[in-house]
Amino acid sequence: MALGNRKSSDIFNKKTGGSKDSKSIDTAKETEIKDKFDRGEHIEDAGMFENLAPALYAIQQLTEDIEELRRYITSEVGDGAQGPQGPAGAKGDTGAAGAAGARGADGARGPAGADGADGADGRDGSAGTTDASKLDASTLPTSRPKDRNKLWNNRGVVNVS
């Protein structure tokens, strides 16, 4: 969400020349006001303080709110537009054992031209698995097979050709 329009106006400004208006003061007047503030004259003068106390209290509360916003933006948000990028996560484990090969006609050919033997069962003792956590990618080829629908290990990520 974008920053809304400013609702407050300047109490005074340092405009000069043709842009000078009723709120304009020069540098000397600003220095005089600052020096009085730094000396605490607005608090020492009991009559002035009694008249200004409610407004000074409100200004003090606003100042504390602004400082909290400044703290939050610099420590929690970063540059204010987008928070800092989080750290990269650790590389996950390779994964558990899974299916080792296809079954059926892709097995070794028997004597006298008989049909091939079934392929070996997966390492989990079953004929294969649909549980990806049991897949052992270390036994898969590391380059993309020419045949379609074959699994291969692409730097630890199992892909289908």
What letter represents residue 131's amino acid? D
pLDDT, tens digit (0-9, with 9 covering 90-100), for 1-34:
677 888 888 888 999 999 999 999 999 999 999 9
Residue 129 has pLDDT above 70, yes or no: no
Choice between 96 and 108, residue whose per-residue pLDDT is larger: 96
CA distance 24 to 20: 6
Alpha-helix runs per DSSP H in the chain: 27-39, 41-44, 46-72
% of the chain residues with pLDDT over 90: 20
Structural tokens at position 40: 């605490």
Q: Which residue, chain included where needed, has tokens 């270390």?
A: 138
**pTM of the entire structure?**
0.38
Residue 139 pLDDT class (50, 70, 90 cuts)? confident
pLDDT, tens digit (0-9, with 9 covering 90-100), for 144-155:
888 888 888 887
pLDDT, tens digit (0-9, with 9 covering 90-100), for 65-90:
999 988 888 887 765 556 566 777 77
**First-last CA distance in the chain:** 45
Q: Which residues contact 24 (CB under 8 A, 6 or more apart)?
A: 12, 13, 14, 15, 16
CA distance 160 to 148: 8
Average pLDDT value for residue range 46-69: 90
CB < 8 Å & 24+ apart, contacts of 15-23: none
